[in-house]
Amino acid sequence: MGVVAAARDLRLRDWAIGAGFVRNLVWDHLHGRAETTPLNDVDVLYFDAADTGSAAETRAEHALGTMLPGCPWSVRNQARMHLRNGDRPYRDTRDAMAHWLETATAIAVRQEPDGHLRLLAPFGTADLFALRIVPTAAGRRRSGALAARLQAKDWPGNWPRLVTDIRRDAGSSPRR
């Protein structure tokens, strides 16, 4: 919760912490692990179409590093990530997540001003909790990138109960 609170305190527009921060915690729990898998990075997402330069991301990473030193922060404005991925411009953070490669990773959390946590999950949470790696429409379209990602991450080596379902149709539009 300290990581979530630090990100909240930056007051970024349409922010959340996603990907492995949520996914790994769930998979570790479902595998009965007392210790959490170390994160390569903590993905802080936000959406600010008015400032798409990388300098704002660098400032945010520095501020977070000051608040929680040693945490591997990675801050990315989703308003510019469509350029890297060859997609149409995204509408918001949730829409950007709908263009990620697999459904179980397209999960994020943020803390609202009233203290409640909000889950962003454009494809729902069924695949995450069923330990299924299923491509999104973007993952099927960018199958080479998905295959390289799966090989590099070796998730089944860390979480042996995972099922990789690259043939399943995850649907062309996110479940709401």
Q: What is the pLDDT of residues 56-73, one digit of tens each?
A: 999 999 999 999 999 999
CATH superfamily of 2-164: Beta Polymerase, domain 2 (3.30.460.10)
pLDDT of residue 164: 87
- pLDDT tens, position by position, 146-162: 999 999 999 999 999 99
Q: What's the whole-model pTM score?
A: 0.88
pLDDT of residue 84: 85
pLDDT band at 86 (very low <50, low <70, confident <90, very high): confident
Q: Does residue 109 register a pLDDT over 90?
A: yes
Mean pLDDT of 8-19: 96
pLDDT of residue 17: 98
Query: What is the spatial distance between Cα 7 and Cα 108, in angstroms, rounded to a whole number?
Result: 12
Buried b (16+ CB within 10 A) or exposed e, 128-138: beebbbbbbbb
Burial grade of 66 (CB within 10 A; 0-12, 13-18, 19 or more): exposed
Q: Which residue has the tokens 């492995």?
A: 20
Query: What is the spatial distance between Cα 34 and Cα 126, in angstroms, rounded to a whole number?
Result: 23
- 8 Å CB contact between 73 and 65: yes
pLDDT of residue 170: 41
pLDDT of residue 176: 33
Q: Where are the domains of the chain?
A: 2-164
Mean pLDDT of 118-136: 97
Query: What is the spatial distance between Cα 2 and Cα 79, in angstroms, rounded to a whole number?
Result: 26
Q: Beta strand pairing status for 117-120 and 73-77?
A: unpaired
